[in-house]
Amino acid sequence: MIPVDYESKIGKHKVTHVTAFYAFLGFLISVVCTEIHLTMPLRPGSIMHSGDFIRRCGCLGIFRGSFPGCSEMSAVMDEDSFLNVYEVGALYPLFGQRKLLYRIVPENSAGMTEDGLYVGGDGTITIGGKEVVIEVANGSGIQGAPKLSPWPFMNNVELTKKRKNILGRVIYKPI
Q: How far apart are CA 163 and CA 169, in angstroms?
A: 9
pLDDT per position in the chain (175 positions), as tens? 455 444 445 555 555 778 888 999 999 998 888 888 778 888 898 899 888 888 887 776 655 545 556 677 888 998 888 899 988 765 555 566 778 889 888 887 665 566 788 998 888 888 888 888 888 887 777 777 888 888 888 888 888 777 776 666 777 878 6
Taking residue 47's Cβ as centre, other Cβ atoms within 10 Å add up to 12
Whose CA is closest to 38, among 93, 80, 82?
A: 93
pLDDT digits (tens, 9 = 90+) for 128-141: 888 888 888 877 77
What is the reported pLDDT for 6?
47
pLDDT digits (tens, 9 = 90+) for 67-79: 556 677 888 998 8
What are the angstrom distances between the C-alpha of 64 and each of 73, 85, 140? 12, 19, 21
